[in-house]
Amino acid sequence: MKSLRHDIGSIFQPIFHLFGWILAFCYGIIPNYAIAIVMLTVIIMGALTPFTIKSTKSMMSMQKLQPEIKKLQQKYKGPENRQLLNDEMMKLYKAEGVNPLGGCLPVLLQAPFLFILYSVIKGLANKTLVGKVLEAQPRYIPKSSKMYTSLVHSGGQIKAFGMDLNLKPFSSHGSIIAAIPFFVFVAVAVGLQYFQMAQMNNRNRKTGQAMPSQQLMMQRFLPVIFAYFYLIIPAAVVLYMIISTGIRIITQDLMFRAGVTNPHKGVQRSLPAPETKEEPAIEVKPPSTTKPSTPKPPVVRPQQQTRSRAKRKRKAR
């Protein structure tokens, strides 16, 4: 077991030194351990943001496919059709370009960073017995850095805002009041994770999408599992989780506002209008409003009148 841990540690040694160098560099800019950890967290989350965006899109795509998945589950009921159901679901995922495990990507990526940061923080508070005295000998950071000098002078205490960030909630704090901030850290970290879950669920309700049952189960129990780890790891690592979860919440909110994860976007297709035969239009003339023209009496000239009078006189004779 010891040899296995030694092999794993030797593999991660360069990574520990890299993160230690970044942390010492941040401390050199602002000589505060908490702010240096926040700056390191921002750098890490900047590298992980593309994966967070991809994961959120994958989760929304999975929710969009829920009606089709339910149809397949109804069609292939029973344990005898389990293999057929799995095959058809994989075909559906492949056709839609969806990774069913994509929503778990941020959680899976957090695990190695938690291990790395935990190891670096533990190395910062490293103490070695010199004679009969324990002396601080920080590891993974340059000995010429300002952080190394501060840690040696403080006896390996990572103090910021009155807290030793190397301690845990159940460490020896001297008093209950001194332990309260550590439990507050744990409560804030768990609360932010549940808020992130509520943010996603509210988005689903607004878009009318159903959350997969497996995803709901994972979202409900993962914060509880993490709460246990928050109680047994240094406060510096819990601070990292608080900042990283806050950044993910802001990232998701910006994605929702920009419509990047809209499940209806690009889904509705305009259907062609049904063809209709055009009937020839019948031209209807409006009824004429002009009155029929009456024949005008013939115009009788004066010469014609005298001639007609003469003719009548001859006949009278």
Tens digit of pLDDT for each residue in 27-69? Answer: 999 999 999 999 999 999 888 888 777 777 777 777 777 778 8
Q: How far is CA 295 from CA 46, 292, 298, in A?
A: 99, 10, 9
Contact call for residues 118 and 237 (beta carbons, < 8 A): yes
Cβ neighbours of residue 314 closer than 8 Å, sequence gap 6 or more: none
Q: How far apart are CA 46 and CA 56, in angstroms?
A: 16
Q: From start to end of the chain, where are the E strands? A: 127-130, 133-136, 159-160, 163-164
Tokens of 203: 């988005």
pLDDT of residue 49: 80
Per-residue pLDDT at 43: 93
Q: Confidence band (pLDDT; 50, 70, 90) for 211?
A: low
User: Rounded to an integer, what distance in angstroms lies between the CA atom of residue 213 and that of residue 216?
Assistant: 5
Phi, psi (deg, nearest 5) at residue 164: -90, 105
Place of tokens 């992130």: 196
pLDDT of residue 273: 43
What pLDDT digit, counting tens, does each position of 232-290 carry? Answer: 999 999 999 999 999 988 988 888 887 765 544 544 433 344 444 445 555 555 555 55
Q: What is the pLDDT of residues 90-136, one digit of tens each?
A: 888 888 777 766 656 666 777 788 888 899 999 999 888 777 777 88
Contact at 8 Å (CB) between 165 and 242? no
Residues in contact with 184: Cβ distance below 8 Å, sequence separation at least 6, in sequence order: none
60, amino acid identity: M
The residue ranking higher by pLDDT, 70 or 229, is: 229
Asked if the model's pLDDT at residue 74 lies above 70, the reply is yes
Query: For residues 13 and 19, what is the distance between their CA atoms, to the nearest angstrom?
Result: 10
Whether 151 contacts 136, CB under 8 Å: yes
Please give the Cα distance from 187 to 222 (Å, whole number).
14
What pLDDT is attached to residue 138?
Answer: 92
Q: How far apart are CA 72 and CA 76, in angstroms?
A: 6
Q: What is the pLDDT of residue 268?
A: 42
Least confident range from 41-50, 140-149, 225-234, 297-306: namely 297-306
Helix then strand count (H, E) for the chain reads 10, 4
- Half-sphere exposure in the Cβ direction for 248 (13 Å, CA): 28
- More confident site: 200 or 68: 68
Q: Output the pLDDT for position 306.
A: 56
**Inter-residue long-range contacts of 246-252, CB under 8 Å, 24+ positions, other chains counted:** 246/192, 247/41, 247/42, 247/45, 247/49, 248/45, 248/52, 248/106, 248/196, 249/192, 249/195, 249/196, 249/199, 251/49, 251/52, 251/53, 251/56, 252/52, 252/56, 252/196, 252/199, 252/200
Average pLDDT, whole number, for the chain? 78
Tokens linked to 119: 């190891």
% of the chain with per-residue pLDDT over 90: 30
